[in-house]
């Protein structure tokens, strides 16, 4: 597998720029909470020789590749098999109370998309798996087989923002009554058959359904809702966090957490803001930044990205 070909870190230079003030010193520690194949981590370790990176990932295949790629950095690269809402435990396990930086590059990885047998891609026939940690948990085939029609509709609507959620849920329930749906090509055929021709012209009809199933299987949104506050709590004063989100549901969670952390808690009507009410964080970018047009043209996976960043300015009293 040509890792360099399939894995181009998204918004790498902007990520490095934003993290630099926090990690450009000896003894700095950064958590790459979604290590993947280690693209961002390798660039940071190369540029900051005093930096230690603690890499987290639930995907054992990705961890194995990252270990190999980051082996030249010795014990400056550390690895923890965990979902990223376990960031606090991982930091303590490595002997730290707080860190200087956190990076979260969310969503499905290049490795997961490009290995057809993982079942993430609607364009490739494979078993309906979609687990980021293939050692545990329900598969997408389990969800398709066991969820009620109402639950399937909710999953497609809530996690895929799919307008035809009810239609697709009915079609799946009818089809599974005849035979188990265990492969991605079977599911794509069912969805395509249930999609009006005019809608098919607007894009691949299975895209949002596959996104929704992946989120359901991996509990991505509930994990993220726990992970962002935990990551913020782990930062020391002056520490920085950068989050790259690839769909609106993820970005909404990040936006809310950052807004809450960067907003004064002073009750309305107070004549002055007391120190304990001042924001704990300041935002480093206005809204969410997009990848440049040049990067989007060169790396299609950068097209949907939304980058947000923040810096801790004080600890709670």
Per-residue pLDDT tens over the stretch 76-135? 999 999 999 999 999 999 999 999 999 999 977 665 565 666 777 888 899 999 998 888
Alpha-carbon dihedral 288, 294, 300, 306, rounded to 10 degrees: 0
Residue 83, both tokens: 């979902």
pLDDT at 58 over 60: yes
Tell me how far apart the alpha carbons of residues 232 and 23 are, in angstroms, rounded to a whole number: 16
The residue with tokens 């940690």 is 133
Task: Name the DSSP letter for residue 267.
Answer: P
What pLDDT digit, counting tens, does each position of 136-193 carry? 889 999 999 999 999 999 999 999 999 999 999 999 999 999 999 999 999 999 999 9
Tell me how far apart the alpha carbons of residues 141 and 129 are, in angstroms, rounded to a whole number: 6
57 carries a ligand binding annotation:
yes
Give the model's pLDDT for residue 264: 77
Comparison of pLDDT for 51 and 267, the residue scoring more:
51
Same domain, 235 and 107: yes
38 carries a ligand binding annotation:
yes
Please compute the mean of the pLDDT values over residues 232-238 and round it to a whole number: 97
Tell me how many domains the chain contains. Answer: 2
Please compute the mean of the pLDDT values over residues 267-286 and round it to a whole number: 80
Tell me how far apart the alpha carbons of residues 91 and 63 are, in angstroms, rounded to a whole number: 17
- Choosing from 170, 202, 218, the residue where a domain stops is 218
Strand 306-312 relative to strand 29-32: parallel, antiparallel, unpaired?
Answer: unpaired
Same domain, 45 and 25: yes
Residue 215, both tokens: 């989120």
CATH of the domain at 190: 1.10.150.170
Give the model's pLDDT for residue 315: 85
Q: Which domain holds residue 265?
A: 3-111+220-312
Same domain, 12 and 62: yes
211 carries a ligand binding annotation:
no
Same domain, 171 and 225: no
Same domain, 227 and 106: yes
Tell me how far apart the alpha carbons of residues 146 and 214 are, in angstroms, rounded to a whole number: 15
Comparison of pLDDT for 7 and 123, the residue scoring more:
123
Give the model's pLDDT for residue 278: 85
Give the model's pLDDT for residue 73: 97
- The Cα diameter of the chain in Å comes to 69
| pLDDT-derived band at 5, boundaries 50, 70, 90 | low
- Choosing from 218, 245, 270, the residue where a domain stops is 218
CATH of the domain at 11: 3.40.50.150
Same domain, 56 and 103: yes
pTM value?
0.89
Give the model's pLDDT for residue 121: 82
Terminal-to-terminal C-alpha distance of the chain:
51
Same domain, 172 and 203: yes
What pLDDT digit, counting tens, does each position of 213-225 carry? 999 999 999 999 9
Same domain, 101 and 242: yes
Which region among 38-52, 192-206, 209-223 has the lowest average model confidence (pLDDT)? 192-206
pLDDT at 7 over 60: yes
Give the model's pLDDT for residue 112: 56
112 carries a ligand binding annotation:
yes
- Choosing from 218, 235, 264, the residue where a domain stops is 218
Q: What is the mean pLDDT of the chain?
A: 91
- The answer to whether residue 317 sits within a structural domain is no
Tell me how far apart the alpha carbons of residues 82 and 50 are, in angstroms, rounded to a whole number: 25
Give the model's pLDDT for residue 202: 87
84 carries a ligand binding annotation:
yes
Please compute the mean of the pLDDT values over residues 9-34 and round it to a whole number: 97
Same domain, 149 and 204: yes
């Amino acid at each position: 597998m040509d890792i360099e070909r399939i894995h181009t870190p998204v918004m790498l230079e902007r990520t490095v720029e934003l993290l630099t003030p926090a990690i450009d010193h000896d003894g700095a520690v950064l958590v790459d909470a979604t290590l993947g194949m280690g693209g961002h981590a390798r660039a940071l370790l190369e540029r900051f020789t005093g930096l230690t990176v603690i890499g987290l990932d639930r995907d054992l295949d990705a961890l194995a590749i990252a270990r190999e790629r980051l082996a030249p950095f010795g014990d400056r690269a550390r690895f923890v098999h965990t979902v990223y809402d376990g960031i606090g435990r991982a930091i303590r396990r490595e002997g730290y109370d707080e860190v200087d930086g956190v990076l979260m590059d969310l969503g499905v990885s290049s490795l997961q998309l490009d290995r057809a047998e993982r079942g993430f891609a609607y364009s490739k026939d494979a078993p309906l798996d979609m687990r980021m940690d293939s050692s545990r948990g329900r598969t997408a085939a389990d969800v398709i087989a066991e969820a009620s029609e109402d639950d399937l509709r909710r999953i497609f609507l809530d996690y895929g923002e799919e307008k035809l959620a009810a239609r697709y849920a009915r079609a799946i329930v009818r089809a599974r009554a005849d035979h188990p749906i265990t492969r991605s090509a079977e599911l794509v055929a069912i969805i395509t058959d249930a999609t009006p021709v005019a809608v098919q012209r607007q894009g691949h009809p299975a895209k949002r359904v596959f996104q929704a199933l992946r989120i359901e299987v991996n509990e991505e949104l509930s994990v993220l809702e726990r992970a962002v506050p935990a990551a913020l709590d782990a930062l020391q004063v002056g520490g920085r966090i950068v989050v790259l989100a690839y769909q609106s549901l993820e970005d909404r969670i990040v936006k809310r957490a950052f807004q809450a952390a960067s907003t004064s808690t002073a009750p309305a009507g107070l004549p002055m803001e007391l120190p304990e009410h001042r924001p704990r964080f300041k935002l480093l970018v206005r809204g969410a930044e997009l990848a440049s047009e040049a990067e989007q043209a060169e790396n299609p996976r950068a097209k949907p990205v939304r980058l947000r960043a923040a810096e801790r300015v004080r600890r709670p009293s």
